[in-house]
Structure 1
């Protein structure tokens, strides 16, 4: 059973998301350690959401009807213990999605439909990187792998078939739109860019689109020089942060550093420099926060953070969004149908095993009588495959309609099989354990 714990800008404040982001590694480790309940874990942490996707062992969670709620409570307790966020606060600011709703939710997230700015392009890459991280740590199950692979295909389909990517704008561009009225002349404005990651690269490109030419880069990890050379920008020298702040009319922060980088002391030190600008705009795109909110109380400083920016996100362009949601809905329905098909796999495997065991026995008897022909044997095996084709197609169709048990009961009755309707046990009449054929893997 798939389950998603989600806390996002729709359910929680950015302060809470900030705290969860800071403890993402600890939360991931805590969930991954519970291998008895969770056979797979993928954690997605972005600037406006914190989500854990889990493959739940229904038997370990208890009765199937209660498995979702039992697993959800375990997740909340684990997240609370690892992040230090009170469990009651988590329950009030999060949601738990179970079974078929998980696929539709992730497909919508990866397509940008659940972002602060609908259609923003960064989220698809963040979803892919979450899967890569889970692969690297060995926590992704086959079902979660399939879920995230289909999510990536769905997001590409939404991007290629709708106008939602152009309907929405990235957080960076939206922030600069809001800054437009505060910046008299972009080309004459010195900008301090804090951060050297992919988000910093996108921010720098967006600034240059508006005509900014004077950009200096600062990195608390010491990577500013390398980034500046690669992007033809200036690098803040060691000990030169206060002086650069003093001369910058705009500061854009987008670092993934876990601690606040710019606070009241740094800005006050900058103001003490001769010739320091009397007014500056600070745009904090970091999550965790890169800027102490207290700087907004300093004279001449205006702060735009993610929470403020999100309140000004443009209205969705309805046609593109509706079309995108239709694509997501179709993809989720197909994902569920393919998952349902797997429920008849034990019966199909048992049926194939039974038929070919009978065939092998007859061929062996024929050989013992001296009647051995490779052409005849090949023809008989082909005939058996042809006869099994229609039951296989019919079984998968029944499973898609929620009637997998109908086929299993029929196979048990007609061929004397003993396939457990829950799919936990699969035995032929001779007591042999039926294993999937190469073409009937769990991921097919």
Structure 2
């Protein structure tokens, strides 16, 4: 059974998300190592959400309850927040609802800026990280791969495609009320990661050309050379002459003593954990635009999701859930057919059959399996997977344990 625990910008404070982004990933990994019923986990952490996707070994209410409480306890301890506070800011999805949620997230429909472009890459990197850590599972692999495929479909078949929406661009749009002419603005970007690269592209789209990059970890030279921008050797000196600073790094937190009082400056903090301490806003002449402020302005009509995109996500989620429910039955049927096939291939070989005969037998088995496999998926989508299991046992003598919870949920959502 699949579970998703999510704390996101709609239900959790920025402070809580910040704490989760620091401590919770390691805690989720520990669940896979220490809890026998957790067979896989993928963690998605961005500036507007923290989500733990879990593969639970048993589709039982008791296992689900234990899993949720174990995740909450581990995440709360690692993030130094109370379990009650965390529980109040966590939403739990299970079964088909997990697919519907992740597909919407990956398509940018649940982002601060609806349709943002960065989230699909973040989802892909979350799966890759789980593979490297050895925490993913077969069902989670299929879930995340289907999410990426669905995201591409949404972008190609709706007006979200090519809209160039992102949190960075929204932040710069909001900043335009303070920056009268981007072509004359001196901009300092702090950070050299993917978000910093997005920031440089968005700044250029606004017309900015006088851009420097500063890296607390010393990686600015290669980043700057690849983008044709200057390198700032000293943050205080660069900040003293900048008009706008955009921070998106994991390597530093800037405090008030890093800025020159009286110098008019707009600081845009896109980091999570935050890159700019709250006391910076008290420095004379400095205006701070952080994720919390940006989030409050993200409900503009132009950033709302089209109904067509939602419909595509719902269809993809239903298909995935039906495939997941149908999996055990299809596997059982294929196992029975392949056993017969291998016996026939061996018998044919013993009688002198050549490679062409074996290829023909294997092709015939594939053709015979195609129709029943399609029908099993159709019946799963109708919530009739238990009937499929009974039919397989009656006609073929094979047992396929239906994913009862999934089958029931698919039926109710159909």
Counterpart CA distance in 1 for 2:311 and 2:61 is 29
**Which residue number corresponds to residue 67 of structure 1?**
63
1:298-341: CA deviation from partner (whole Å, max 9, x where unpaired) = 22111100110111114345996211011101100110111121
**Which residue number corresponds to residue 7 of structure 1?**
7
- Answering whether residue 386 of structure 2 is matched by residue 401 of structure 1, we say no
Kindly indicate whether structure 1 or structure 2 has the higher relative contact order, using CA contacts under 8 Å at least 6 residues apart: 2
Provide TM-score, normalisation by structure 2.
0.87
Q: Which runs of 5+ in 1 are unaligned?
A: 272-276, 425-444
Counterpart CA distance in 1 for 2:366 and 2:207 is 68
Q: State the SS of the aligned residue for 1:72.
A: helix
User: What is the CA distance between 1:374 and its match in structure 2?
Assistant: 5.2
- Answering whether residue 155 of structure 2 is matched by residue 149 of structure 1, we say no
Q: State the SS of the aligned residue for 1:288.
A: coil
**What is the aligned counterpart of 2:243 among 249, 253, 262?**
249
Q: State the SS of the aligned residue for 1:23.
A: helix
Going from structure 1 to structure 2, the CA distance change for 1:412 and 1:359 (only over 3 Å counts) comes to: farther
User: What is the CA distance between 1:212 and its match in structure 2?
Assistant: 2.1
1:247-302: CA deviation from partner (whole Å, max 9, x where unpaired) = 11211111122x51x111112xx34xxxxx63111110111100001111222111
**Which residue number corresponds to residue 307 of structure 2?**
322
Counterpart CA distance in 1 for 2:268 and 2:284 is 16
User: What is the CA distance between 1:347 and its match in structure 2?
Assistant: 4.3
Map residues 304-315 of structure 1 onto 2, 5 A cutoff.
304-315=289-300
**Which residue number corresponds to residue 53 of structure 2?**
53
Map residues 197-236 of structure 1 onto 2, 5 A cutoff.
197-236=193-232
Q: Which stretch has the larger CA shift, 44-53 or 27-36? A: 27-36
**Which residue number corresponds to residue 27 of structure 2?**
27
- Answering whether residue 174 of structure 2 is matched by residue 189 of structure 1, we say no
**What is the aligned counterpart of 1:172 among 159, 168, 173?**
168
Counterpart CA distance in 2 for 1:216 and 1:382 is 61
Please give the root-mean-square deviation of Cα atoms over the aligned residues, in Å.
3.0
1:51-96: CA deviation from partner (whole Å, max 9, x where unpaired) = 111111117xxxx133322211111111112222211111001111
Going from structure 1 to structure 2, the CA distance change for 1:390 and 1:159 (only over 3 Å counts) comes to: closer
1:36-55: CA deviation from partner (whole Å, max 9, x where unpaired) = 12111111111100011111
Q: State the SS of the aligned residue for 2:279.
A: helix
Map residues 357-376 of structure 1 onto 2, 5 A cutoff.
none
- Larger radius of gyration between Structure 1 and Structure 2: 1
User: What is the CA distance between 1:396 and its match in structure 2?
Assistant: 4.3
**8 Å contact kept, 1:119–1:166:** no
